[in-house]
């Protein structure tokens, strides 16, 4: 039985010429492919990026329709770079969501993960960070009846998990630990993967003993124990910005706050019963690391204010130390 040849891309433009011609017939371009204020000198041909196709036909496997690895790097750098040139974050997401999937398709069709894994890993790392970033920064832009084309958190999480699991599989197959492997193993644990999985897969001692993985294990342990005091007084303070975004995505921080406020309110707005004085809200907010102003007058009001899903949290945003989105995504 003949072995199917693996296609090798020869396209060096972000959008293959044949696809560009087809899309011009239907004027099928995203606004950010037509013009970007900061890229005023670039033409449509220089801004257009290959679209994602769910079904790959034989013509899509032709070398001239598959981008080379250097071109894929250029494409990802261009897409991520849009975040820092005055483009609305949500508008950029609607483009990046589709075009990054097309990048992964080109990688898959050419089997670059198997043939040139070390060179592809940085691309997948950036995409994972980007989806984590979006899960937080766009949480208030979710699709609804009034905003049907808004951010779909479930689809974003699906792509995050798929990309992350692919990346972790590549790490496992590498002979040596990758520079950022611990960072992404930790994200996997924070996203809810059972910690016992670490015992079933081949992970290097350096990764298991890293501060990132140890932080994730500490979070899992604290959540199991529902120890909100340790979570907010020690564990949460150690989180990086992206780790805090993951905790926000999974609801770990809101769950801990909800548990604490439930204990404090006790159904009577008092600590453990009516004989105990009302817990000072300012002390409670400080204990839960809550930032920003509040109009709450009791623990129950505070619970409704800070434990709701889909809200930006000042305490998470405060962890962002880098000025540019590209710096966060590139690590």
The 3-class SS string of 144-192 reads CCCCCCCECHHHHHHHHHHHHHHHHHHHHHCCCCCCCHHHHHHHHHHCC
Following CA atoms 224, 226, 231, 236 in sequence, which dihedral angle do they give, to the nearest 10 degrees?
60
Q: Is the pLDDT of residue 203 over 50?
A: yes
Helix-strand-coil split of the chain, %, nearest 5: 60, 0, 35
Residue 83 belongs to a domain? yes
Number of structural domains, the chain?
2
Report how far residue 94's alpha carbon sits from residue 98's, in angstroms, rounded to the nearest whole number.
7
Q: What is the pLDDT of residue 75?
A: 98
pLDDT score of 264 more than 80: no
- Binning pLDDT at 50, 70 and 90, where does residue 295 land? confident
* Last residue of one domain, picked from the residues 96, 115, 134: 115
Segments forming the whole domain that contains residue 248: 222-317
The mean pLDDT value for 186-204 works out to: 74
CA 101 to chain CA mean position, Å: 14
Residue 241 class from Cβ within 10 Å (0-12 exposed, 13-18 middle, 19+ buried)?
Answer: middle
Lowest mean pLDDT among 46-50, 113-117, 142-146, 323-327: 142-146
Q: What is the mean pLDDT of residues 110-131?
A: 95
pLDDT tens per residue, range 40-73? 778 899 999 999 999 889 999 999 999 999 999 9
| Last residue of one domain, picked from the residues 115, 133, 167 | 115
* 242 domain-assigned: yes
Residue 24 pLDDT > 60, yes or no? yes
The pLDDT tens digits of the residues spanning 210-233 come to: 999 999 999 999 999 999 999 999
Q: Which two tokens stand for residue 117?
A: 């894994």
């Amino acid at each position: 039985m003949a072995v199917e040849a693996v296609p090798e891309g020869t396209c060096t433009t972000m959008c293959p010429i044949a696809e560009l011609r087809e899309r011009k017939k239907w004027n099928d371009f995203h606004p950010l492919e037509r013009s970007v204020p900061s890229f005023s000198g670039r033409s449509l041909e220089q801004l257009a990026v290959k679209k994602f196709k769910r079904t790959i036909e034989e013509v899509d496997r032709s070398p001239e329709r598959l981008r080379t690895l250097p071109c894929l790097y250029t494409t990802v750098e261009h897409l991520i770079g849009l975040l820092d040139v005055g483009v609305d974050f949500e508008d950029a997401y609607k483009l990046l969501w589709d075009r990054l999937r097309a990048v992964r398709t080109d990688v898959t069709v050419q089997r670059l993960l198997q043939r040139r894994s070390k060179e592809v890993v940085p691309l997948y790392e950036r995409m994972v960070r980007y989806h984590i970033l979006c899960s937080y920064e766009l949480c208030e832009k979710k699709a609804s009846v009034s905003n049907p084309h808004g951010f779909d958190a479930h689809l974003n999480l699906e792509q995050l998990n798929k990309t992350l699991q692919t990346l972790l599989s590549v790490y496992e197959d590498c002979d040596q630990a990758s520079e950022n492997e611990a960072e992404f193993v930790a994200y996997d644990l924070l996203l809810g993967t059972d910690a016992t999985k670490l015992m079933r897969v081949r992970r290097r001692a350096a990764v298991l003993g890293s501060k990132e993985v140890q932080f994730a294990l500490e979070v899992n342990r604290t959540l199991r124990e529902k120890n909100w005091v340790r979570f907010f007084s020690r564990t949460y303070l150690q989180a990086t910005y992206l780790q805090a975004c993951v905790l926000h995505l999974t609801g770990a921080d809101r769950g801990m706050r909800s548990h604490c406020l439930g204990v404090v309110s006790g159904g009577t707005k008092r600590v453990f019963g009516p004989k105990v004085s009302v817990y000072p809200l300012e002390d409670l907010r400080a204990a839960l690391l809550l930032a920003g102003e509040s109009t709450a007058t009791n623990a129950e009001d505070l619970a409704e204010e800070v434990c709701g899903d889909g809200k930006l949290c000042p305490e998470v945003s405060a962890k962002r130390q880098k000025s540019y989105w590209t710096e966060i995504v590139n690590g």
